[in-house]
Amino acid sequence: MTRQEERIRARRRQRRRQARMVRRVVFGVCLFIILILCIYGHHNHKRVLSLQSEIDRLEQQLKKSKSDSNDLKKQLDELQKELEQKQQELDKKEAALYDDPNKPNVYMTFDDGPSSNTDTILDTLAANNIRATFFCIAQKGEANEKRYQRIVNEGHTIGMHSYTHEYGTVYASLESFEQDVTQISDYIFQMTGVRPKYYRFPGGSSNTVSKVPMKECIRYLNQSGLTYFDWNAQNDDATGKSYTASQLVEHAMKNVKMAGDNVVLLMHDEQTKTATAEALPTLIKRLKNAGYDILPITDKTPLVQHVSKDSVS
């Protein structure tokens, strides 16, 4: 081998070495790039996964919100219904208090209760959407105690008719009359939370059994800001005779018609006066047919007094 050939071979070997070197470098660079791509891909995959789980979470939240909003809608519908029902009840109550100026008025009043007949009377009044006035005395026992509250709850006017209803006690002296008024006022307040402002004298303001001059009792009520109502018609359920329900209706209708356009009708809510409670549905029908408004006593009710409050200085 000549020196020339040796030089050529050595150059070739060197070129081959250089080529191997270049291939290695290229391979290394490629490997590096692939590695970078892998790392980047992995990172991206992780990010995609986390985004996916975020989307799932939001979807679930949306579903829950939807079901919550359905629940709320249901609750809202129920409240709306309740409101409408209350409004209807209110309208009914207001209608029962409407006083047509073209119609004569009858104020039905029930004295001496509550009693075992009160619930029947209240049921009838409710069924006819009518309010009345109850002049109560102090009746004891759990059943009666509940009846005071029912009278008030159902929109009727509750008034006082003395604590004991014993003429000898109530009218023994002015002092005992005053004490009796305070007692029945407190008793009704205790039973109902309502401080009564209307009064009916046992026996009326024109009674002749009182040992105290009635004007003194009237003066006391005037000074106490209490208004008393007597009556100008009755159904005759306290005359001592036992009338049937239909007789009581006839008596009431006759007396109401004689009393004019502003009638305070006296009846009794007492254990023995079952016929009065029995007569009530027919009496209401007859009064309505005869064109009367039936109303509870309020501050607007024109006074019906046997002895006028203004006759006392």
- Chain residues binding Zn ion by CB under 5 A are 111-112
Q: At what angle do helices 214-224 and 174-192 cross, to 10 degrees?
A: 40
Q: Are 165 and 184 in contact (CB under 8 A)?
A: no
Q: How far is the CB of 203 from Zn ion (least distance, A)?
A: 7
The HSE-up count of residue 139 (CA atoms within 13 Å, CB side) is 25
Q: How far is the CB of 167 from Zn ion (least distance, A)?
A: 10
Q: How far is the CB of 261 from Zn ion (least distance, A)?
A: 26
Residue 156 or 268 having the CB closest to Zn ion: 268
Give me the residue whose beta carbon is nearest to Zn ion: 111
Q: What is the CA radius of gyration of the chain?
A: 47
Whole-number Å distance between alpha carbons of 130 and 259: 21
Q: Are 111 and 267 in contact (CB under 8 A)?
A: yes
Q: How far is the CB of 202 from Zn ion (least distance, A)?
A: 5
Residue 96 or 304 having the CB closest to Zn ion: 304
Residue 231 or 292 having the CB closest to Zn ion: 231
Amino acid at 41: G
Span between the terminal Cα atoms of the chain, in Å: 163
Q: Which residue has the tokens 């040992």?
A: 211
Tell how strand 233-234 and strand 262-268 pair up: parallel
Residue 167 or 220 having the CB closest to Zn ion: 167
Residue 199 or 292 having the CB closest to Zn ion: 199
Q: How far is the CB of 255 from Zn ion (least distance, A)?
A: 17
